[in-house]
């Protein structure tokens, strides 16, 4: 598996070249959210709004009303926690084409509780007019912008930065409201988002070798959540459904799937992998994923539980898969907060 570096930084410059309506707002985190290249390439379309996110959200609403498309880049927590009222009233209510790129989703940062967006999907799924995406690899990052710009209304993207894997073919773009089918099967239906997809793929590779048939969907559109593939997959599954998200289990992917299952009267067991209604703390991504049960091993345990089978898979069995995509320590340390 290929690993890519600073994908958004280069991609945004290329993509925005012939789009004069696209402007970028920075909240004093330009280098940390990969918009230094955009600033240098198009200084007239780059606006520094400082550490003042309430003003930034409303200001974006004002410029969007005038025909510009503001692309706000900052850490996710500063797009929905601090300025929620401004997001709701100055952007979402008037249904303006403001694009919010929220970095450091969930436990992807050692920045601790202040920097970890663990309930953003839960908070924002309740906000009318807002469309929500989450990216899981370099291809998602590269191909998401056309989809985002095609939405006639505000958009929130759970973004990845720095060193990220390429899990999906470069010529298979992210499609609006359509999950990627990573494997087909009838024993277990597995739905994953964001960084959890990479983690899940490590497990599914080993699980297939053990003879399990897994329907694995990578979900990138979290709102709306009406992709018919979801219920089709759930219906045909034998043992149960598992969701896996870098987020609290309340209000995110797991909840969205539960709603679809309940509305369709599908009586299957649902297991939600994610943060169990708790905050995290500042440590490495790998450490936190293991500690809070967001990793491949957690998925193995849930599948053993659902199938009633001891699959005999150990951490060591997964390690070989893990090595192929592991970040270098040097690269992760470069990421400033």
Partner 1 sequence: MHAAEIEQDTTWQNVAKTRAQGIRRRTLALTLERNGCYLSQALSSAEILATLYTQVLNLGESLAPAVPPPLKGVPGHGVHFGEGANYNGARTASYDRFLISPAHYAVAIYAALVETGRMDPAGLEQFNTDGSTVEMIGAEHSPGFELTTGSFGQAVSQAGGIALARKVRGEPGRVFVFMSDGELEEGQTWEAVQALAFYELDNVIVYVDVNGQQVDGLTKDVMNIEPIDARLTGFGATALKVDGHDVDALANAINHKETGKPLFVLCYTNPAEGIPMLEARKPHLHFVRFKTDAELAEAEAFLASMNPASMNQKGA
Q: Which residues bind partner 1 (CB under 8 A)?
A: 44, 47, 49-50, 52, 54-55, 57-68, 70, 85-86, 89-90, 93-95, 128-129, 152-153
Of 62 and 232, the one with the shorter C-beta distance to partner 1 is: 62
Structure tokens at 306: 């659902």
Burial class (CB in 10 A: 0-12, 13-18, 19+), 107: buried
Of 4 and 41, the one with the shorter C-beta distance to partner 1 is: 41
Q: Residue 39 belongs to what H/E stretch?
A: helix 36-41
Please confirm whether the linkage preceding 224 is cis (ω < 30° from 0).
Answer: yes
For residue 189, the SS3 value is strand
CB of 70 to partner 1, least distance (A): 8
- What is the end-to-end Cα distance of the chain in Å, rounded? 28
CB of 238 to partner 1, least distance (A): 38
Do residues 200 and 148 make contact, with C-beta atoms less than 8 angstroms apart?
no
Of 98 and 242, the one with the shorter C-beta distance to partner 1 is: 98
**What DSSP character marks residue 116?**
-
CB of 41 to partner 1, least distance (A): 17
For residue 334, the SS3 value is coil
Of 85 and 277, the one with the shorter C-beta distance to partner 1 is: 85
Of 44 and 171, the one with the shorter C-beta distance to partner 1 is: 44
Of 74 and 215, the one with the shorter C-beta distance to partner 1 is: 74
CB of 52 to partner 1, least distance (A): 4
Do residues 1 and 166 make contact, with C-beta atoms less than 8 angstroms apart?
yes
- Rounded to the nearest angstrom, the gap between the alpha carbon of residue 265 and the centroid of all alpha carbons in its chain is 28
Strands 131-134 and 221-223: antiparallel
CB of 222 to partner 1, least distance (A): 18
Please confirm whether the linkage preceding 221 is cis (ω < 30° from 0).
Answer: no
Of 67 and 211, the one with the shorter C-beta distance to partner 1 is: 67
CB of 125 to partner 1, least distance (A): 15
CB of 51 to partner 1, least distance (A): 9
C-alpha–C-alpha distance, residues 57 and 100, integer Å? 9
């Amino acid at each position: 598996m290929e690993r890519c570096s600073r994908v958004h930084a280069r991609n945004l410059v290329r993509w925005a070249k012939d789009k004069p309506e696209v402007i970028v707002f920075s909240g004093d985190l330009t280098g940390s959210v990969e918009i230094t290249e955009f600033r240098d390439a198009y200084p007239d379309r780059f606006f520094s709004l400082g550490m003042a996110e309430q003003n930034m959200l409303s200001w974006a609403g004002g410029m969007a009303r005038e025909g510009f498309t503001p692309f706000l880049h900052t850490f996710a927590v500063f797009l929905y926690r601090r300025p929620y009222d401004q997001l709701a009233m100055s952007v979402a209510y008037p249904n303006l084409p403001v694009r919010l790129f929220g970095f450091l989703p969930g436990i992807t940062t050692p920045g601790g509780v202040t920097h970890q967006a663990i309930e953003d999907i839960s908070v924002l799924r309740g906000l009318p007019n807002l469309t929500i995406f989450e990216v899981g690899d370099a291809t998602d990052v590269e191909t998401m912008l056309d989809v985002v710009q095609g939405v006639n209304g505000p958009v929130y993207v759970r973004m990845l930065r720095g060193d990220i894997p390429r899990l999906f073919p470069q010529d298979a773009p992210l499609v609006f409201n359509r999950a990627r089918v990573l494997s087909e099967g009838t024993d277990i239906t597995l739905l994953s988002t964001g960084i959890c997809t990479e983690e899940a793929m490590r497990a599914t590779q080993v699980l297939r070798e053990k003879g399990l048939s897994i329907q694995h969907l990578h979900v990138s559109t979290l709102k709306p959540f009406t992709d018919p593939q979801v219920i089709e997959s759930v219906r045909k599954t034998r043992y149960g459904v598992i969701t896996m998200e870098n987020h609290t289990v309340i209000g995110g992917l797991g909840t969205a799937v539960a709603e679809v299952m309940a509305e369709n009267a599908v009586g299957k067991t649902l297991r939600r992998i994610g943060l169990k209604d708790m905050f995290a703390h500042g440590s490495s991504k790998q450490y936190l994923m293991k500690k809070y049960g967001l990793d491949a091993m957690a998925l193995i345990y849930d599948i053993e539980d659902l199938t009633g089978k001891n699959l005999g898979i150990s951490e060591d069995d997964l390690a070989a898969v893990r090595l192929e995509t592991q970040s270098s320590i040097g690269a992760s340390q470069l990421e400033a907060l």
